[in-house]
Amino acid sequence: MEEKKKVIFSGIQPSGNLTLGNYLGALKNWVKLQDENKYECYFCVVDLHAITVRQEPKDLRRRTLEVLAIYLAAGIDPKKTTLFIQSHVSTHSEAAWLLNCFTYIGEASRMTQFKDKSKRYGEAVSVGLLDYPILMAADILLYNADLVPVGKDQTQHLEMARNIAQRFNNLYSPTFVIPEGYIPEDGAKIMDLQEPTKKMSKSSDNPNSYILIMDQPEVIRRKINRCVTDSIGVVNYTDEQPGIKNLITILGAINGLKPEEIVEKYKGKGYSQFKEDVADAIVGELEPIQQKVQSFLSDKKYLENIYKSGAEKAYYVSNKVLRKMQKKIGFIPKA
Ligand code: TYM
Burial class of residue 170 (count of CB atoms within 10 Å of its CB; 0-12, 13-18, 19+): exposed
Provide the pLDDT for residue 96. 98
How many residues are given for the chain?
335
CA 11 – CA 87 distance, rounded (Å): 12
Q: How far is the CA of 196 from the centre of ligand 1 (A)?
A: 19
178 to 162, 184, 277: CA distances (angstroms):
6, 19, 42
Burial 34-59 (b: 16+ CB within 10 A, else e): beeeebbbbbbbbbbbbebbebeeee
Asked if 247 and 304 sit in the same domain, the reply is no
Provide the pLDDT for residue 240. 96
Answer yes or no: is pLDDT of 187 > 90: no
pLDDT band for position 202 (cuts 50, 70, 90): confident
Q: What is the pLDDT of residues 215-224, one digit of tens each?
A: 999 999 999 9
The reply to whether 1 falls in a domain is: no
Percent of the chain scoring above 90 in pLDDT: 90
Which residues are CB-neighbours of 17 under 8 A, at least 6 positions away?
Answer: 63, 66, 202, 212, 213, 214
Cβ–ligand 1 contact at 6 (below 6 Å): no
Cβ–ligand 1 contact at 154 (below 6 Å): yes
The reply to whether 169 falls in a domain is: yes
Answer yes or no: is pLDDT of 1 > 70: no
pLDDT band for position 2 (cuts 50, 70, 90): low
Answer yes or no: is pLDDT of 232 > 90: yes
Asked if 32 and 159 sit in the same domain, the reply is yes
Q: Whose CA is closest to 203, among 138, 134, 272, 113?
A: 113
Provide the pLDDT for residue 308. 98
Indicate the residue type of 147: L
The reply to whether 195 falls in a domain is: no
The CATH number of whichever domain residue 242 belongs to comes to 1.10.240.10
208 to 6, 26, 194, 211: CA distances (angstroms):
40, 21, 7, 7
Q: Compute the average pLDDT of residues 301-311.
A: 98
Asked if 49 and 148 sit in the same domain, the reply is yes
Cβ–ligand 1 contact at 22 (below 6 Å): yes
Provide the pLDDT for residue 125. 86
Asked if 110 and 137 sit in the same domain, the reply is yes
pLDDT band for position 284 (cuts 50, 70, 90): very high
Percent of the chain scoring above 70 in pLDDT: 99
Cβ–ligand 1 contact at 153 (below 6 Å): yes
Dmax (CA) for the chain in angstroms is 75
CA 201 – CA 206 distance, rounded (Å): 10
Q: How far is the CA of 27 from the centre of ligand 1 (A)?
A: 9
Asked if 34 and 116 sit in the same domain, the reply is yes
For all residues of the chain together, what is the average pLDDT?
95
150, 189, 254, best to mutate for ligand 1 pocket (most atoms within 8 Å of CB) = 150
Provide the 8-state DSSP code for 53: S
Cβ–ligand 1 contact at 252 (below 6 Å): no
7, 9, 12, best to mutate for ligand 1 pocket (most atoms within 8 Å of CB) = 12
Cβ–ligand 1 contact at 275 (below 6 Å): no
Which atom of ligand 1 lies nearest, measured to the CA of 49? 30
Q: What is the pLDDT of residues 44-102, one digit of tens each?
A: 999 999 999 889 999 999 999 999 999 999 999 999 999 999 999 999 999 999 999 99
CB atoms within 10 A of CB 173: 9
Which atom of ligand 1 lies nearest, measured to the CA of 199? 15
* Residue ranges making up the domain that contains 19: 6-188+300-329
Q: How far is the CA of 322 from the centre of ligand 1 (A)?
A: 24
Asked if 115 and 18 sit in the same domain, the reply is yes
69 to 170, 203, 234, 289, 327: CA distances (angstroms):
40, 20, 39, 10, 38
Q: How far is the CA of 150 from the centre of ligand 1 (A)?
A: 6
What predicted TM-score, i.e. pTM, was given to this entire model? 0.96
pLDDT band for position 188 (cuts 50, 70, 90): confident
Give the relative orientation of helices 112-121 and 127-141 as an angle to the nearest 10 degrees: 150
The CATH number of whichever domain residue 32 belongs to comes to 3.40.50.620
CA 211 – CA 17 distance, rounded (Å): 10
CA 90 – CA 312 distance, rounded (Å): 11
Which residues are CB-neighbours of 245 under 8 A, at least 6 positions away?
Answer: 191, 196, 236, 237, 238, 239
Answer yes or no: is pLDDT of 190 > 80: yes
Q: What residues act catalytically?
A: 117, 199, 202
Q: What is the pLDDT of residues 90-138, one digit of tens each?
A: 999 999 999 999 999 999 999 998 998 888 888 888 899 999 999 999 9
The gap between the terminal CA atoms of the chain, to the nearest Å, is: 35
